[in-house]
Amino acid sequence: MIPSSLLPAGKSPFAAISSNGYWLVALKETERTRLAEGDYTYGIFRDNWVLHGWIGNVADDTQRCRLLFMDWVPGKYVAAVGEECEGELRVSVCRPDSLRLREVFRTDQVGSMVFHSWFDSALILVEDKGPIWMIDPLAGESALICELPVDRGFIHAVQASPDGRYLAAEVGDFKRRQSGLVIVDLLTKRSEQLTWERIAHRHRPVCWPARDTIRFLRRVPKDTGYQVFEARLDLSEPW
């Protein structure tokens, strides 16, 4: 528990993550004190909850933002913060030695994030409209990996393989009442549909028991519940 004496007036703890002896904490404004400023205050604490310092916001802190995720870059003293700010997705980073959020990525269209993961030290983001981004949080560089075929459908239940290289996603079609598994290779930047059926169905990835094995749920309208299936991938050769 964070000692109440360390909390600014009108702020309450919202989320916290720890790594390498530090805690990154997000504090959210209470309704009574909400003013024309950002919704969250971020601070870094030591493991014994000694305050290391409060983090300054990015240059434009007047936007209303919603915290999507906080995560430490694997093996680094750098934290990544994802926010949705007035319909745009923004990713910023901060270090304990600088105590300032620095923006490294922002979308240029309205969208929302449905998943994030790590591939080595690269941040992977999946948007609800289909784009998959790879972001280098240290260099501030980003690249569009691919765009999933969403059209007027949806993306749901994205799962990353144990090594982070592959993503399995449920990509659906509202009109046809179908959703199948799509596999994305982050290294080759290729995507491929893995499962499909002629009838109305849903295939939802659950986990990767192994690097080449995906476990997923299958449901059709006449069923009373979900069935569990596994799919084995042949990764002996690049796609």
**Dihedral class, residue 10 (left if φ above 0, else alpha if ψ from -120 to 50, else beta):** left
Asked whether the beta carbons of 186 and 134 are under 8 A apart, the reply is: yes
Higher local confidence (pLDDT), 226 or 141: 141
Residues 113 and 190 in one domain: no
Range from 142-146, 171-175, 185-189, 213-217 carrying the lowest mean pLDDT: 171-175
Residues 155 and 107 in one domain: no
**Closest by alpha carbon to 186, among 209, 208, 163?**
163
| pLDDT more than 70, % of the chain | 90
Whole-model pTM?
A: 0.86
pLDDT at 168 exceeding the cut of 50: yes
Domain that holds residue 106: 1-147
Mean pLDDT of the chain: 86
Q: Other C-beta atoms within 10 Å of 173: how many?
A: 16
Same domain, 143 and 156: no
Same domain, 85 and 188: no
Which residue among 91, 126, 147 closes a domain? Answer: 147
Q: What is the pLDDT of residues 26-74, one digit of tens each?
A: 988 776 444 445 578 899 999 888 889 999 765 555 667 888 999 999 9
Q: Is residue 31 classed as helix, strand or coil in its secondary structure?
A: helix
Proportion of the chain above pLDDT 90, given as a percent = 49
State the total domains in the chain: 2
Q: How confident is the model at residue 149 (pLDDT cuts 50, 70, 90)?
A: confident
The CATH code of the domain that includes 21 is 2.130.10.10
Mean pLDDT is lowest, of 48-52, 83-87, 112-116, 149-153, for: 149-153
Average pLDDT of 201-219?
Answer: 93
